[in-house]
Amino acid sequence: MLDSTELIREFVAIPGPPGQEQAVGDAFAAHARALGYQPDTDAKGNTIVTIPGGRKKEPPRVVVTAHLDEIALMVLRIAADGWVEVVPMGGAYPWKWGEQPVQILALNGQVDGILSFGSIHTNAPESVAQQARGGPLVWGQAQVFTPLTGRKLWSQGVRPGSRVVLHPEVRKVRELGPFLASYFLDDRADVTAMLLAMESLKELPLKSGIVFAATASEEVGGEGAAYLMHRLQPDICVALEIGPKVPESPFDIDDQPTIWVTDNYASIHSEDIRILSDVCVELGQEPHWQPLSRGGSDASSAAQRGLTARPVTLGLPVENSHGLEIMHRDAPQELARLLVAYLQRVAG
């Protein structure tokens, strides 16, 4: 039986910036194979598991996604003295990351560095400290310090476009009573929930097939899911996501799933509201029905592009989204229970 906390620890420890998620995909594929599935990887980097249904000639009606990638930085410019300018990939914010150890994923290995905003003991208008006193930090004010010159960084394989990720020493899961805290629970906890659901579905008959996809480049616009669903065009896409605690949804950080009812891209279909309501009653769950005024998922962004008819986004309640995120340790199991019961309704 899969251990969700240990799976989360394993996945969080592996860097997976947008466009460079293969190591996380390989770890997911290894667990899928251990469950008896045959995963495949497409040209975009999505790791895909197809569970056939009883009517094998029909195309899959449902695709379930959880994304492999994490928010990250990208090298913009390399100075002669070895300082590196960066830009964000996805919703990374300087005030969420702060001054932390990072790694540049170079062509010839990893280069350690420190994300830096400079010293505070100055009133000079050109200093980041003085600028931050009057407004928010932006990534143009950040640099990565490295022990190497620009020439040596280039010889190590650092290029404009190289990904910059949080250092391994920061990529740890902390236990706080019944809670877990870590960077990148979005979406490594949901990849875990997807594996838990796949484990349960091994014993259940399905009339129509289901595609499970650990998707690439979600944080930069849902690229991986769009690439996959342009080919499959499923009736339903279920995206597994975090459920960020926000003023519009002031719920407790408990183990109950969240159900996105709307976001920046699309809204849930009324039929899925009915199905999920019935399923939650049967399971004894009390989900958080969540409107989001900012955000999107693989499902909702695909729906806006006309690549699926019914977007469904199911989440884990999370505090501190895109930062040091906090969730209940039992939330992945409850999310997996809801997902399996929903899939039995629409594909069983």
Residue 59 clears pLDDT 80, i.e. is over it: no
| DSSP annotation of 121 | S
Cα 18 to Cα 35, 130, 277, distances in angstroms: 27, 33, 34
Cα 46 to Cα 72, 131, 310, distances in angstroms: 18, 41, 21
Q: How confident is the model at residue 170 (pLDDT cuts 50, 70, 90)?
A: very high
Query: Chain-wide mean pLDDT for the chain?
Result: 96
Q: How confident is the model at residue 204 (pLDDT cuts 50, 70, 90)?
A: confident
Residue 288 clears pLDDT 70, i.e. is over it: yes
Q: Which structure tokens are listed for 157? A: 């394989």
Concatenated DSSP letters of 41-53: E-TT--EEEEE--
Q: Which structure tokens are listed for 88? A: 């964000």
How far does the chain reach from its first CA to its final CA, in angstroms? 23
CA distance 251 to 126: 42
Tell me the mean pLDDT in the region 236-244: 98
Q: How far is CA 77 from the centre of its chain?
A: 27
Q: How confident is the model at residue 208 (pLDDT cuts 50, 70, 90)?
A: confident
Q: Which residues contact 247 (CB under 8 A, 6 or more apart)?
A: none
CA distance 213 to 69: 13
pLDDT single digits (tens) 261-277: 999 999 999 999 999 99
| Three-state SS at 120 | coil
pLDDT single digits (tens) 140-167: 999 999 999 999 999 999 999 999 999 9
pLDDT at 54: 66
Cα 111 to Cα 22, 38, 131, 153, 162, distances in angstroms: 19, 35, 29, 8, 11
Tell me the mean pLDDT in the region 316-341: 98
Lowest mean pLDDT among 35-44, 125-134, 176-185: 125-134
CA-wise closest residue to 168 among 320, 10, 323: 10
Q: How confident is the model at residue 17 (pLDDT cuts 50, 70, 90)?
A: very high
| Three-state SS at 223 | helix
Cα dihedral: 342, 345, 347, 348 (round 10): 120
Number of residues in the chain: 348
Q: What is the pTM of this model?
A: 0.96
Residue 232 clears pLDDT 90, i.e. is over it: yes
Q: How confident is the model at residue 25 (pLDDT cuts 50, 70, 90)?
A: very high
What is the residue type of 3?
D
pLDDT at 57: 62
Say if residues 69 and 214 touch (Cβ distance below 8 Å): no
Q: How confident is the model at residue 123 (pLDDT cuts 50, 70, 90)?
A: very high
| DSSP annotation of 139 | G
Say if residues 329 and 182 touch (Cβ distance below 8 Å): no
Residue 58 clears pLDDT 80, i.e. is over it: no
Cross-strand pairs, 74: 87, 163
Ordered domains of the chain (ranges, CATH):
4-70+183-347 (3.40.630.10), 72-166 (2.40.30.40)
